[in-house]
Amino acid sequence: MPERNKQPQILDAVDLDLKLKQCTQFTLDNGLPVYTVDAGEQDVLMVEWVFYAGNWYEQKNIVAASANYLLKNGTKKRSAYEINEHFEYYGAYLNRSCYNETATVTLHCLNKHVNTLLPVVAEIFTESVFPEEELAIYKKNQKQKLEVNLKKCDFVAGRIIDELLYSKEHPYGKYSSAEEYDAINKQELLAFYKQYYTEGKCILFVAGKLPADIQQQLNKHFGSLPFNPASVPAVDHAQVPATEKKHHVINDANGVQGAIRIARPFPNRHHPDFMKVQVLNNIFGGFFGSRLMSNIREDKGYTYGIYSFVQNHIHNTAWVVSTEAGRDVCAATITEVFKEMKILREELVDEEELHLVRNYMIGSILGDLDGPFQIIARWKNYVLNNLTDAYFYDSIQTIKTISAEELRALAQKYLNEDAFYELTVI
């Protein structure tokens, strides 16, 4: 029992010895790799199927996202309504998401119902039919959403900055149009589905309070499916950044607010500077106490919020500053962003600020390890990026030990105004 009359010891987050819970790995009969984290007090379970079925592999724009969305909208045995009713009856959620390289199907459920739900998921992977009526509804809804979003400066700015950084032909720079939704047909979806889902490469991640026979259950329902771990085609996409660095777009002539993006190309996690730059980014604009926030929000009052971040891409990525500001102060906001870059290039970060950022970052990692679903998400990120748990411990060490001199050198290397694209959409 704790002594209530004695104050507990208070530790800084940087003094904590963080450990990443190990995951267990096994392989199903068909070679499907499975990563599991058995933890938690509640009788809940998450099963996530990750397919290499993102837009990196599509031959026609929007096919990957459309196929992923329509996976659960009808099989040879069940309608979309019946599929949704089945999962809802057991209090379960079956969600799907499409990213650049990968696409996921995620099941959250009580572990006592998993054996009843897994066969229907397997059915979705092998017998989806993409009904014409569901496709028609999907097209209509997506075009309506797009029409609404295109009126928002922030949405338009996100599309344009990616095009500037990667080109519209690159998977990271693609964006949708009403005409492309109209052009999608059932046959294209079925062909993509067969190649990248039914016979595609899949990795399985499972977390929660696992049933004792979870391996047997997974093998029973998925161990005989024709997933092929070696089937991902070698696809390379050239990154062709735009030549012009400054862009001003009028999206709403009567708007009172503008969206700002300031961004530069940046290497991925395997570059030796990547971990160190995470610390510099947090000082610059990565959290609520950052310099961009203190200057542009708290001092100048130009915006409600401004952040910088490194995009979460597997291949080469980008370092981005994002905000919305009053139309009349967009130019001043950009000036202040570059001013903060200049200060970081010229002056050393003081120890008090660096200590604050160290504590924030270690505390954030600690929060990200709170529960089995968060732990397996971190393992998934490492697996998909061809990393090991050594990356976790190296990151902790970097946060705790990076010096002010190293941070200034990084700022001099990367935070140069002429390396950044400058975009304003009003």
pLDDT the model gives residue 2: 67
Clarify whether residues 367 and 281 are in a common domain: yes
Question: Is the separation of the CB atoms in 285 and 293 below 8 Å?
Answer: yes
Clarify whether residues 74 and 117 are in a common domain: yes
**Does the residue 173 lie in any domain?**
yes
Answer with the one of 153, 187, 222 that is the final residue of a domain.
222
pLDDT tier for residue 234 given thresholds of 50, 70 and 90: confident
Domain CATH number, residue 386: 3.30.830.10
Mean pLDDT confidence for 343-368: 96
pLDDT the model gives residue 16: 85
Q: Does the pLDDT at position 5 exceed 90?
A: no
Q: What's the chain's average pLDDT?
A: 96
Clarify whether residues 255 and 381 are in a common domain: yes
pLDDT the model gives residue 231: 72
Residue-wise pLDDT tens digits, 101-146 = 999 999 999 999 999 999 999 999 999 999 999 999 999 999 999 9
Clarify whether residues 165 and 215 are in a common domain: yes
Q: Does the pLDDT at position 325 exceed 80?
A: yes
pLDDT tier for residue 1 given thresholds of 50, 70 and 90: low
Give me the residues paired with residue 321 across strands.
262, 308
Mean pLDDT confidence for 369-389: 96
Q: Who's near 296: CB < 8 A, 6+ residues apart?
A: 302, 303, 306, 323, 325, 333, 336, 337
Distance of CA 194 to the CA centre of its chain: 25
Lookup: tokens for 278 = 């995470």
pLDDT tier for residue 233 given thresholds of 50, 70 and 90: confident
pLDDT the model gives residue 3: 75
Clarify whether residues 49 and 107 are in a common domain: yes
Q: Does the pLDDT at position 9 exceed 80?
A: no
Clarify whether residues 295 and 198 are in a common domain: no
Distances (CA, A) of 67 to 49, 54, 135, 420: 15, 10, 10, 35
> What is the enclosing helix (H) or strand (E) of 101?
none
pLDDT the model gives residue 411: 98
Clarify whether residues 254 and 338 are in a common domain: yes
Furthest-apart CA pair in the chain: how many Å? 71
Residue-wise pLDDT tens digits, 402-424 = 999 999 999 999 999 999 999 99
Domain with 377, as residue range(s), is 246-425
Signed CA dihedral, 144, 148, 151, 155: sign only: negative
**Does the residue 235 lie in any domain?**
no
pLDDT the model gives residue 8: 74
**Does the residue 237 lie in any domain?**
no
pLDDT the model gives residue 359: 96
Q: Which residue has the higher pLDDT, 280 or 235?
A: 280
